[in-house]
Amino acid sequence: MPSTPDTRLREPAELRGLPRADRGLINPDLIRRLLVELGEDPDREGLIRTPERVARSLMDLTCGQGMTVEEVVGDGVFDEDCSEMVIVKDIEFYSLCEHHLLPFYGRVHVAYIPDGRIIGLSKVARIVDVFARRLQVQERMTVQIAEAIQDTLTPKGVGVVADAAHLCMMMRGVGKQNSSTMTSCLLGSFRANASTRNEFLGLVRNM
């Protein structure tokens, strides 16, 4: 008689003994219950491993909730006498809409004007992931990314633009497959100086 597959998530050694709230683990039994509520048989061949797969996917898609900007930046900030605009464009991101738990995805463009310090380019992308990989709304995510860059570098200004497609709008409700949503957050000189703001928005649009 074949044994029943073990669908429990394996805990890393450093997480053992911690309360569930501190582990970030999801009980696959919750997914199994959801399948039953949807009228499915969680024991049929195609669904036997689904609870574990979904639990792991959700853990990955919300891993930013357990991250901090300080952790991902580490020692990636450097003293540098540079005062020209720095733009990191087309940073891909994936997130989950907190209203429907459906994905939204797109690109983020981040710019800042240094004031004696710069940040490693890969760290900018990691900051985006900190705020994208969680239950989120695009408007808040855009502001959080901008404020994180501001707090980390104290630059002369920060500009962030996000352009995303929302599956909650494409797959359900109004069903508009070709729509996208753009949000922006401008801080410091990007907000106060029209020339700086227009330069950033023009470069994002035309690069």
Check whether residue 128 and residue 191 sit in a common domain.
yes
pLDDT for residue 10 is more than 90: no
Read off the tokens for 54.
């979904």
Q: Which domain holds residue 31?
A: 13-61
> Is 180 found in the same domain as 84?
yes
The answer to whether residue 109 is catalytic is: no
Do residues 157 and 55 both lie within one domain?
no
Mean pLDDT, residues 16-25: 50
* Domain-located, residue 5: no
The CATH number of the domain holding residue 30 is 1.10.286
Take residue 135 and report the two structure tokens written for it: 């239950």
Mean pLDDT of the 171-184 span: 83
C-alpha gyration radius of the chain: 21
Q: Identify whether 2 is part of a domain.
A: no
Asked if residue 38 belongs to a domain, the reply is yes
In a domain, 8, yes or no: no
Choose the catalytic residue: 52, 136, 144, 166. Answer: 166
Mean pLDDT of the chain: 89
- Residues 185 and 104 occupy one common structural domain: yes
| Residue 164 CA: distances (Å) to CA of 74, 96, 131, 138, 176 | 28, 12, 14, 8, 13
Do 136 and 180 lie in one domain? The reply is yes
Catalytic residue among 52, 97, 109, 144: 97
- Regarding whether 92 and 22 lie in a shared domain, the answer is no
- Tokens representing 46 are 């195609």
Q: Is residue 196 part of a domain?
A: yes
Is 166 part of the annotated catalytic residue set?
yes
Same domain, residue pair 42 and 88: no
**pLDDT of the residue at 1:** 42
Active site residue 98: yes
Q: Rounded distance, CA 4 to CA 122, Å?
A: 44
Q: How many residues does the chain have?
A: 207
Residue 82 known to be catalytic: no
Give the Cβ contact number of residue 207 at 10 Å: 9
Specify the CATH number for the domain of residue 112.
3.30.1130.10
Whether 100 is a known active-site residue: answer yes
- Within 8 A by CB and 6+ apart from 85, the residues are 111, 112, 113, 196, 199, 200, 203
Q: 125 and 183: one domain?
A: yes
pLDDT digits (tens, 9 = 90+) for 132-162: 999 999 999 999 999 999 999 999 999 999 9
Dist. CA 179–CA 94, nearest whole Å = 17
Record the pTM: 0.85
Q: Which of 52, 109, 136, 138 is catalytic?
A: 138
The predicted model gives 16-27 an average pLDDT of 56
Same domain, 76 and 146: yes
How many structural domains does the chain have? Answer: 2
Active-site hit among 100, 147, 150, 199: 100
CB 133 within 8 A of CB 92: no
Residue 207 above 80 pLDDT? Answer: no
Is the torsion defined by CA of 188, 116, 131, 199 positive or negative? positive
Backbone angles phi, psi at 187, to 5 degrees: -125, 155
Q: Which residue has the tokens 């959700």?
A: 58
**Does the residue 105 lie in any domain?**
yes
The catalytic residue among 63, 147, 168, 199 is 168
Task: Quote the CA–CA distance of 194 and 160 in Å, as a whole number.
Answer: 15
Catalytic residue among 70, 71, 99, 139: 99
User: What are 39-79's pLDDT values in tens digits?
Assistant: 999 999 999 999 999 999 999 999 999 899 999 999 999 99
